[in-house]
């Protein structure tokens, strides 16, 4: 079997899962608005996802380690995704929505991390670039945002469940064709490991600093669609905005092998932070949804660059035997803690002061984070790590 043939099922699964995930990220806030929830209530619902992930990630990581399989755990989670989505996406009462949201995200939130882990292991095993595999997830996300946006603009956002279940079934089909990888190290967080990582001063400082950027990113994920609607946009325009953004992200991932190792990862993080603040300030002054659309290409130059650089830098900071735990801690901060804060703060702000002020505050936060990262890079903590750890970055 050739390298190209061996990753086709994985690429197809990534495409389908992220196509399904695109529907939730892009259109769930609009669905919740349709059933009558306020901005603050939508924030609470969207915060359930990151909260569930904090519980689900260690649990499913433990199960993957115990049974030495990624594929079987993915299969169980995808089954759960399909079944719980049918229930969750028919709820109209806040209390029931919150309960079912937790169950739904308990199954769905680990799928992205597990599939990225599988893709990373496959890229090492087959000698291919990780970005060339992961980019298919971004392509699926972009395709779904555009296509489903058009469909929902025609049939109505209340029928969100049907395209989601369709992509969920496709994900299950492609998952059944995956070849597993041997899980050699524990991916669950052990108390002793956490203590070791918490004594890693550069890592702790880094995780605190990234929250100045990740909270803004997650708040935008939650409320971009509602903001575009406030500016007079439609579901189709919301879908187009995500298509442009994630298409640029896919390009960044696809060509990472050409640009990424030119400079130290912190340089790319600082550049991404500056672009984040610029992007949010532009959105804050937008008077027309097409202005937001026009600058959505910055999504790839912000999230795409930032995520790759941050993942690589974390890999440099943690020893080889704690890579899984360190990556899990990073993902928990990036998508879990920041997701909770971004959803709750963003929901409160968009209700009380409006979307323009929300994005102004996001811009200020990103600017502060960029300045702090620049200082961090100038300090000894931000310099190159020991050679013994640097080898990890050359996987």
pLDDT digits (tens, 9 = 90+) for 273-286: 999 999 999 999 99
Exposed (0-12), middle (13-18) or buried (19+): which is 380, by Cβ within 10 Å? exposed
| pLDDT for res 315 | 78
| pLDDT for res 38 | 92
- Cα 152 to Cα 376: distance, rounded to the nearest angstrom: 45
| 292, pLDDT greater than 90 | yes
Closest CA to 299 of 226, 372, 223, 221: 221
Phi-psi sector, 227: left (phi>0), alpha (psi -120 to 50), beta: alpha
| 82, pLDDT greater than 70 | yes
| pLDDT for res 200 | 85
- Cα 55 to Cα 102: distance, rounded to the nearest angstrom: 10
pLDDT tens by residue, 326-346: 777 788 888 889 999 999 999
What's the mean per-residue pLDDT of the chain?
86
| 392, pLDDT greater than 50 | no
- Cα 15 to Cα 171: distance, rounded to the nearest angstrom: 8
Domains and their CATH numbers in the chain? 3-394 (1.20.1250.20)
Identify the weakest region by mean pLDDT among 106-120, 188-202, 370-384. Answer: 188-202
| pLDDT for res 321 | 62
Q: Is the pTM of this model over 0.85?
A: no
Closest CA to 43 of 339, 387, 375, 367: 339
């Amino acid at each position: 079997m050739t390298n190209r043939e061996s990753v086709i099922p994985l690429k197809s699964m990534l495409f389908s899962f992220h196509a399904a995930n695109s529907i939730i990220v892009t259109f769930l806030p609009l669905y919740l608005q349709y059933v009558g929830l306020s901005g603050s209530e939508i924030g609470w619902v969207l915060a359930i996802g990151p909260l569930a992930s904090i519980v689900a990630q260690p649990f499913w990581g433990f199960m993957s380690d115990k049974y030495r399989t990624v594929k079987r755990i993915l299969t169980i989670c995808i089954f759960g995704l399909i079944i719980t989505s049918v229930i969750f996406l028919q709820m109209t009462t806040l209390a029931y929505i919150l309960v079912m949201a937790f169950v739904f995200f308990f199954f769905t939130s680990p799928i992205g991390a597990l599939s990225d882990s599988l893709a990373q292991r496959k890229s090492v095993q087959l000698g291919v670039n990780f970005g060339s595999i992961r980019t298919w997830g971004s392509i699926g996300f972009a395709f779904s945002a555009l296509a489903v946006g058009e469909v929902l603009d025609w049939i109505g956002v209340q029928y969100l469940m049907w395209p989601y279940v369709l992509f969920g079934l496709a994900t299950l089909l492609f998952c059944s064709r995956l070849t597993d990888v041997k899980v050699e190290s524990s991916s669950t967080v052990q108390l002793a490991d956490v203590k070791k990582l918490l004594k890693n001063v550069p890592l702790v400082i880094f995780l605190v600093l990234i929250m100045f950027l990740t909270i803004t990113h997650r708040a935008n994920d939650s409320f971009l669609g509602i903001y575009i609607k406030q500016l007079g946009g439609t579901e189709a325009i919301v879908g187009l905005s995500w298509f442009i953004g994630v298409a640029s992200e896919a390009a960044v991932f696809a060509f990472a092998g050409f640009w990424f190792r030119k400079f130290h990862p912190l340089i790319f993080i600082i550049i991404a932070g500056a672009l984040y603040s610029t992007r949010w300030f532009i959105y804050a002054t937008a008077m027309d949804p097409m202005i937001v659309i026009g600058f959505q290409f910055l999504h790839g130059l912000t999230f795409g660059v930032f995520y790759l650089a941050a993942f690589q830098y974390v890999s440099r900071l943690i020893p080889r035997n704690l890579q899984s735990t360190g990556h899990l801690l990073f993902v928990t901060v990036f998508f879990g803690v920041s997701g909770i804060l971004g959803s709750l703060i963003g929901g409160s702000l968009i209700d009380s002061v409006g979307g323009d002020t929300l994005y102004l505050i996001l811009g200020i936060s990103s600017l502060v984070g960029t300045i702090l990262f620049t200082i961090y890079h100038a300090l000894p903590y931000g310099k190159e790590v020991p050679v013994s750890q640097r080898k990890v970055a050359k996987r």
